[in-house]
Chain A
Amino acid sequence: MMWRALTLFVAIFIAAPGLTARAADTIKVAYTDPLSGPFAEVGDQNLKQMQYIIDYINARGGALGKKFELVSFDNKSQPSEALIALKTVVDQNIPIIMQCSGSNIAAALIDAVEKNNIRNPDSRVVYVNCGAVATELTNEKCSFWHFRFDANAAQKAEILVRALPEDVKKVYMLNQDYLFGQSLQRDVKTYLAKLRSDVQVVGDELIPLGKIKDFSPYVTKIKAAGAQALITGNWGPDMSLLIKAGMDAGLDITYYTLYAHLGGGPTAIGPRGGGKVFVVQPFNENISVETGNKDLEQWTSDFRKTHDFDFYAAGFRTIFEFIQAGFNKAGSTDPTKFAEALEGLKLTDMLGREVTMRRDDHQFIGEYFVGIFSKDVKYDSEKTGLGWKTVKTVEGNEIAQPTTCQMKRPSS
Chain B
Amino acid sequence: MEVFLVTLLNGLVYGMLLFMLASGLTLIFSMMGVLNFAHASIYMIGAYLAYELSRHLDFWAALVIAPILCGLIGAAIEMYGLRKVHRNGHLAELLFTFGLAFIIEKAVQMIWGLVAVPYRVPSALDFSLFTIYGTTFPAYRAFMLLISALMFVAIWLLLTRTRIGLIIQAALVHPDMVGALGHNVPRVFTIVFAGGSALAGLAGVIGGNYLVTEPAMAFTMGPIVFVVVVFGGLGSLEGCFIASLIIGLVQTFAVVLDVSLADLLARLGIVVTATTPFAEILTVRLPRVGALLPFVLLVLILLFKPRGLLGTRDT
Contact = CB atoms under 8 A, between A and B. Distances in A.
A37 B216 contact: yes
Given A217-B10, A219-B135, A249-B136, 12 more contacts: A36-B215, A38-B212, A41-B116, A206-B288, A207-B287, A211-B291, A213-B211, A217-B253, A221-B255, A224-B2, A224-B3, A250-B136
Interface string B117-160: 01000000000100100111010000000000000000000000
Contacts of A218: 255
A141 interface: no
B262 to A, nearest CB: 16
Contacts of B189: none
Nearest to B133: A223
Given A36-B114, A41-B115, A216 B10 contact: yes
B7 interface: yes
Contacts of A221: 3, 255-256, 258
Interface in A245-264: 248-252
Contacts of B291: 208, 211
Interface string B212-232: 101110001000000000000
Contacts, number: 77
B212 A213 contact: yes
Interface string A212-239: 0110111111011000000000000100
Interface string B1-14: 01100110010001
B210 interface: yes
18 contacts: A36-B215, A37-B114, A38-B212, A44-B115, A205-B287, A207-B287, A211-B220, A211-B291, A213-B220, A216-B10, A217-B255, A217-B256, A220-B135, A224-B3, A249-B136, A250-B131, A250-B134, A267-B118
B109 interface: yes
Interface residues of B, number: 32
B256 A237 contact: no
A388 B288 CA distance: 33
A171 interface: no
A49 to B, nearest CB: 14
Contacts of B131: 250
A35 interface: yes
Interface of B: 2-3, 6-7, 10, 14, 109, 114-116, 118, 128, 131, 134-136, 138, 210-212, 214-216, 220, 252-253, 255-256, 258, 287-288, 291
Most buried by B among A35, A223, A237, A249: A249
Contacts of B212: 38, 213, 237, 241
Nearest to B9: A216
A37 B220 CA distance: 10
A38 B214 contact: yes
A81 interface: no
A108 interface: no
A220 B135 CA distance: 8
A395 interface: no
Contacts of B14: 214
Contact of B135 (A44, A207, A223): A223
Contacts of A241: 212
Contacts of A41: 115-116
Contacts of A214: 10, 14, 210-211
Interface residues of A, number: 31
Interface string A356-389: 0000000000000000000000000000000000
A220 B7 contact: yes
Nearest to B217: A213
A250 B214 CA distance: 26
Nearest to A220: B6
A334 interface: no
A237 B217 CA distance: 13
A252 B135 CA distance: 9
A177 interface: yes
A237 B116 contact: yes
Nearest to A44: B115
A221 B4 CA distance: 10
B203 to A, nearest CB: 14
Most buried by B among A35, A224, A267: A224
Contacts of A44: 114-115
Nearest to A35: B114
A221 B258 CA distance: 10
A44 B258 CA distance: 36
Nearest to B210: A214
Contacts of B255: 217-218, 221
B114 A38 contact: no
A405 interface: no
A206 B258 CA distance: 12
A71 interface: no
Most buried by B among A177, A248, A252: A248
A270 to B, nearest CB: 10
A237 B118 CA distance: 12
B215 A217 contact: no
A220 B138 contact: no
B135 A177 contact: no
A40 interface: yes
B213 to A, nearest CB: 10
Contacts of B287: 205, 207
Nearest to B128: A250
B275 to A, nearest CB: 21
Interface in A195-217: 205-208, 211, 213-214, 216-217
A36 B116 CA distance: 9
Interface string A44-61: 100000000000000000
A205 B287 CA distance: 8
Most buried by B among A205, A214, A217, A249: A217
B256 A223 contact: no
A218 B257 CA distance: 11
A40 B211 contact: no
Nearest to A247: B136
Contacts of A248: 128, 136, 138
A211 B290 CA distance: 11
